[in-house]
Structure 1
Amino acid sequence: MTAAPLYVTATDGQRLAVYTEGRADAPTLLLVHGYPDNATVWDALAEELSGTYRIVRYDVRGAGRSTAPDRRSGYLVDQLGEDLLTVADAVSPDRPVHVVGHDWGAIQAWHAVTEPAYAERLASLTAVSGPNLDHAGHWLQKAPDGVRNVLRQFVRSTYIGFFSTPGVPEAAWLSGIGGLALSGLERIGGGPHERARRSTRDYLNGLELYRANMLRRFTRPVERRTSVPVQALAPTHDAFMIDQVQSNAGRWAEDFRFHRFQGGHWSVRSRPVPIAARIRAFVDEIESGAPRPRRALTAQQARRHGGAFAGQLAVVTGAGSGIGRAVSFELAERGTRVIAVDIDEDAASRTAYLCGHLTPGSDFRKVDVGDAEAMEKLAAWVRSEHGVPDLVVNNAGIGVAGPFLETSERDWDRVVRVNLWGVVNGCRAFAPLLVDAGGGGRIVNTASAAAFIPSRVFGPYATTKAAVLMLSRTLRGELAGRGVSVTAVCPGLINTGIIDNAHLSGMGKETAAKKRLNRLYRLRGYTPEKAATRIVNAIENDPEIVPVTAEAHLGLALSRFAPKALSRGARLAPPL
């Protein structure tokens, strides 16, 4: 950023230094920086995007070349929102601007888009590592994601109390101690190693942002909603903020997207490529003029749409029935757009239709997961039509049971093709997309408690599920460094109806055997809906394995601590 700035006068007389580059005929991206930065924090991201858009950035009041107010009231977030609109009117008077904010820049941008009078001037908001302060205040007071997450955020927010202490942070910055500490924090998540271009003035003036706003907004938050499309981008290793504070905004925005990516708090400097890709996809979708899904939420839906899955995109295979269908509904109820995939097109369509009533934007596809080429085409279609998914649930599976000596080669081929190759194909098709998007995505593979509980009649089924479990564990290790997490789900006896479509060999008359098995599942009484709630709650915390039912938990424990007992149990005939 070498060009001399254009100066724009704010409503209270402050002079804001504004810098412009890129294509004059393209949509305008207005970049708003945070603390303790100035407009140079956007250098790397501007380089990525200036060939496609008109890039406008400015030094917020008190930073860089902009003037600073004499009074603390000059840093109130209401005034910061007015500054943003003033700059937007100056640089793009005839066309709404797309706002990108980082840290405090995201905070003031959120404030602007939730101001009804500004809505027509702002085409979209991409917020990186920064919430709306009123939204955060509601989240802290009501703890919708649990007290544990509030405590986690409290630990990460201790710096706010430090910055609010008179004189102490000034001494830290002036002595150089604060700068050394900040350099260490910048390295979390693979942050930038080059020295930031900041001045002592940036450090000192910006402290007034915290002193003027935090206590007021956190203790007396107001309801602020927006019709402006918003996407929140959350780095996986943000030193100052947990995901839920940002995804909570799903309950306040009609059109909301939430994406995680691998990186630290200052990823706008260190990892501009994945951020630029998300911005480009979001802005281009809006500029295309295509109808956008909007939600009119009930109070109960608004509470649920603010969780960790709000605004995300999920692909679920085997979504036409059973656990896949229940997981699709659970995700949709939490604000996730669901792509329902099943070999039964009508069943997939019904699932997507019902999901769409919970969260608009859901879709479906008929796919045979055992067909590698078909899965590759599915991934390409999802990326083209809906974007890179945040969550991929490889759930499709079939049942095969019977003694080994009675199981045909055809049965083995079929169960391996669907249960194992279906998961392999799903991982092969979607894992590269998640990695290329910068990480932060999740893959969930449905294995089974049969993966670690041997049985004399479930050999083929258990073999494929054991393979899925090991595949998931090894892939988790491989992709950890790329920012993609992998979880294996191991249900127990879930009354899904899988037995009705299973092939049973060597167990007497098949119809009678299915009746006996179905009776066992019904007596167990564990529904797909209950399993889906347990699964979605668990994967939010990124576990390696999710045992669902009590028998799954017990079987996993025995496999680790008493494997001989399980081996002896495999000799017994099941109670069919």
Structure 2
Amino acid sequence: MRQETLILSGHRFNVLVAGEAGQPLMLFLHGFPEYSAAYEDLMPHLAEEFLCVAPDQRGFGASWKPQNVKDYVLPALLSDAAEVIAHYSSDRTAVVVGHDWGSAVAYGLAFRFPELVSHLVIANGVHPGPFQRAMAAGGRQTEASQYISDLRAEGKEHELVRDEHAAIFDIFNKHMDMGWMTPARRDAYRKAWGDVDGVRAMLNWYRASPLKLAKPGEPIPPEDLPDLPKEALRVSMPHLLIWGMNDSALLPESYEGLEAYCDDLTIEEIENADHWILHQRAADVAARIRRFLEARPVVQ
């Protein structure tokens, strides 16, 4: 694997790359509070067949970190991803893989730029339709998502940088298996998060999102929710959802009804894995992606 630098719309982005030019492109989009290293275990398993590309998305790692919330609205995030595809793909298409917040960008590409996405793979990430419904219902997913309100709070970044980012590592833990977090990785994550400005940039993803979160036991009326018409949230390409069933942040109810938005959906639920499945079960995830694609070949 190697690090490369791209200039996207005049701003510097860091990209982790594995594989060779000329292979079909597989674009990997990470979430919070990770960076491109979210995929460092998975990419080597796929690099013989694909050019694997994982950018530090804006606000993360060694990439551009604007400080204004407006710089993290979905169209801006999609523009970054589309430019990465255009740079690395000879036919301007990619297999797009998303995890956590990276899934928001991956789904956004599928909705708005379906011509760029040959196949969509999501690992423990959510489609906005079912997820908004679950967050607004006031039930178990509402309870599990209360951390979102906390992360949106003004000044939260100052708390998260204290004691060598101890509170961010607490977010990682959240009753999940952290056996993969070695001391070396811990140091690398702390370097990627950086100072208050770096953490503010990451939190701005939450602050820019239009999705609404209820209070436990207090559902939000449908008329008060964002307008999310199904026809605008359609996944027309083959779609694989891989789910670690021990995830304590995103529960299975967050993807209930997903099939209503998809033309060709495969769901694979994996026991004894949680939100950090990309680190815990990298070889297994890669094998499932490979089988999915073999059944629906990537046309070069």
TM range (shorter): 0.7 to 0.9
Q: Check the 8 A contact 1:14/1:69 in 2, yes or no.
A: no
Tell me, yes or no, if structure 1 residue 94 matches structure 2 residue 83.
no
Q: Check the 8 A contact 2:210/2:226 in 1, yes or no.
A: no
1:381-530 residue pairs with structure 2 within 5 A? Answer: none
Cα separation, 1, equivalents of 2:268 and 2:241:
6
> Which of these residues, 274, 286, 304, is aligned with residue 284 of structure 2?
274
Q: Check the 8 A contact 1:191/1:267 in 2, yes or no.
A: no
Q: Shift in Å at residue 20 of structure 1?
A: 2.4
Segments of structure 2 that go 5 or more residues without pairing to the other structure are: 215-224
1:80-479 residue pairs with structure 2 within 5 A? Answer: 80-115=77-112, 118-141=113-136, 151-175=139-163, 176-185=165-174, 188-189=176-177, 191-194=179-182, 195-196=185-186, 197-198=188-189, 199-201=192-194, 203-215=199-211, 219-223=225-229, 224-262=233-271, 263-287=273-297
Q: Check the 8 A contact 1:174/1:200 in 2, yes or no.
A: no
Q: Shift in Å at residue 183 of structure 1?
A: 4.7
Tell me, yes or no, if structure 1 residue 42 matches structure 2 residue 33.
no
Cα separation, 2, equivalents of 1:217 and 1:238:
19
Choose between structure 1 and 2 for higher RCO, CA contacts under 8 A separated by at least 6 residues.
2
SS in 2 for 1:84: helix
Equivalent in the alignment of 1:73: 70
Cα separation, 1, equivalents of 2:3 and 2:284:
29
AA aligned opposite 1:267 = I
SS in 2 for 1:206: helix
Q: 1:432-491 CA deviation, whole Å, 9 max, x = no partner?
A: xxxxxxxxxxxxxxxxxxxxxxxxxxxxxxxxxxxxxxxxxxxxxxxxxxxxxxxxxxxx
Cα separation, 2, equivalents of 1:271 and 1:49:
14
AA aligned opposite 2:82 = L
Equivalent in the alignment of 1:57: 54
| Larger relative helix fraction | 1
Cα separation, 1, equivalents of 2:93 and 2:126:
22
Cα separation, 1, equivalents of 2:213 and 2:265:
22
Larger-gyration structure (1/2): 1
AA aligned opposite 1:265 = H
In the TM superposition, structure 1's runs of 4+ consecutive aligned residues that sit over 6 Å from their partners are: none
Q: Shift in Å at residue 229 of structure 1?
A: 1.6
Q: Check the 8 A contact 2:242/2:270 in 1, yes or no.
A: yes
Q: 1:404-439 CA deviation, whole Å, 9 max, x = no partner?
A: xxxxxxxxxxxxxxxxxxxxxxxxxxxxxxxxxxxx
Considering only aligned residues, what root-mean-square deviation do their CA atoms show, in Å? Answer: 2.3
Q: Check the 8 A contact 1:135/1:221 in 2, yes or no.
A: no
TM-score for both structures, normalised by structure 1:
0.45
Cα separation, 2, equivalents of 1:226 and 1:217:
24
Q: 1:112-169 CA deviation, whole Å, 9 max, x = no partner?
A: 1011xx111110111111112344224445x6xxxxxx51101210110110111135
AA aligned opposite 2:139 = L
Cα separation, 2, equivalents of 1:46 and 1:24:
15
SS in 1 for 2:285: helix
Summarize the Cα distance change of 1:151–1:120 in structure 2 as closer, same or farther, 3 Å threshold: same
Aligned residues: 276
Q: Check the 8 A contact 1:108/1:132 in 2, yes or no.
A: no
1:25-36 residue pairs with structure 2 within 5 A? Answer: 25-36=22-33
Cα separation, 1, equivalents of 2:40 and 2:180:
13
SS in 2 for 1:264: coil
Equivalent in the alignment of 1:8: 7
SS in 1 for 2:60: coil
Q: 1:197-235 CA deviation, whole Å, 9 max, x = no partner?
A: 223335432100001104469931412112122111110
Cα separation, 1, equivalents of 2:173 and 2:213:
29
Q: Check the 8 A contact 2:33/2:168 in 1, yes or no.
A: no
Cα separation, 1, equivalents of 2:201 and 2:42:
25
1:537-548 residue pairs with structure 2 within 5 A? Answer: none
TM-score for both structures, normalised by structure 2:
0.84
Segments of structure 1 that go 5 or more residues without pairing to the other structure are: 144-149, 290-576
Summarize the Cα distance change of 1:252–1:215 in structure 2 as closer, same or farther, 3 Å threshold: closer
AA aligned opposite 2:173 = G
Cα separation, 1, equivalents of 2:177 and 2:51:
30
Cα separation, 1, equivalents of 2:158 and 2:237:
37
Q: Shift in Å at residue 81 of structure 1?
A: 1.6
Cα separation, 1, equivalents of 2:77 and 2:213:
14
Aligned-pair identity in percent equals 24
Summarize the Cα distance change of 1:279–1:86 in structure 2 as closer, same or farther, 3 Å threshold: same
